[in-house]
Amino acid sequence: MRFQDKIVFITGGAKGIGKAMAEAFLAEGASVAVNSRSTEAINKFEEEFKGKNVLAFTADITNYEDMENVAGKIWNAWGKVDVLINNAGIVNPLTPSEKTKKEDFDRAIDVNLKGTFYVSQVFGKRMVEQKSGRIINMITQAAIYGEKGFLPYVMSKAGLMVMTRNLASEWSRHGVTVVAIAPGFIAGGMNEGLIRKQAFVDFLSKKTPIGRMAKVEEITGLVLFLASPEAQYINGETIVIDGGMTGYTAEPLLDFIMAGKGK
């Protein structure tokens, strides 16, 4: 039980990868709180985890007061938060950048960038006061090199990468460290719909040297490691977990030349 007596808060943790993280932390002895915009999702989560050490709140991360309220209730109930996981996020509708709608751009920035900062500040200031805490931000591999059609998403997530460094440099002296993870394609969460179609699984798998999408437990495994004392010295960094996709081109120049295509 690696997280006995530890308190973990996961934004957007009622479904997808966030819910898988909640299960993984509970299995390791932690008490886990989550929030979701949807009361229905929260009721479902409470029903599924009845009898376990969980708290669940309907709250939107873009609403500062909502998040103050949530933090106040967790500290009242459990007296501290050891780990904050900024997991909640949205992806914009896939569109070429010249056609991106203003409202889709604004929404991605509001949720992924502004909302995540609000939560970081609301929880971070309390962690600074308690003189301990670990913040883990969910970014994306695409925030490093970009991804056609996802500009609002990757811009908002790229902002979180520098937020990770900045907050680490500001808060570490107060005992609060900050890291981020940048996954490639995960076989779960927001890709649930896509992975029902084999053509998408094949396409996304071909984009990674390792030849497949990430398993959800590979992502939760890294998050648990980063939350553990063994990873304490990793700070301010964004850890890429993408099967080798970063910097990989589907057909490297070497293969092109070796296949005699350059003649």
Ligand X SMILES: NC(=O)c1ccc[n+]([C@@H]2O[C@H](COP(=O)([O-])OP(=O)(O)OC[C@H]3O[C@@H](n4cnc5c(N)ncnc54)[C@H](O)[C@@H]3O)[C@@H](O)[C@H]2O)c1
Active-site pick, 118, 145, 153, 248: 153
- Angstrom distance (rounded) from CA 97 to CA 93: 11
- Angstrom distance (rounded) from CA 78 to CA 70: 12
Give the binding range for ligand X (CB under 6 A) out of 58-66, 76-84, 122-130, 232-240.
58-66
Residue 186: CB minimum distance to ligand X, A: 4
Report if residue 42 touches ligand X, rule: CB under 6 A: no
- Angstrom distance (rounded) from CA 223 to CA 239: 10
Report if residue 124 touches ligand X, rule: CB under 6 A: no
Torsion sign, CA atoms 227, 230, 232, 235 = negative
Q: Which is nearer to ligand X, 12 or 124 (CB)?
A: 12
Report if residue 183 touches ligand X, rule: CB under 6 A: yes
Report if residue 154 touches ligand X, rule: CB under 6 A: no
Residue 41: CB minimum distance to ligand X, A: 6
Identify the burial level of 127 via C-beta atoms within 10 angstroms of its C-beta, where 0-12 means exposed, 13-18 middle and 19 or more buried.
buried
Cross-sheet strand order for the sheet of 83-86: 54-58, 31-36, 7-11, 83-86, 133-138, 176-183, 238-241
153 an active-site residue?
A: yes
Binding footprint of ligand X on the chain (CB under 6 A)? 11-12, 14-18, 35-37, 60-62, 87-90, 111, 115, 138, 140, 183, 185-186, 189-191
The residues annotated as belonging to the active site are 153
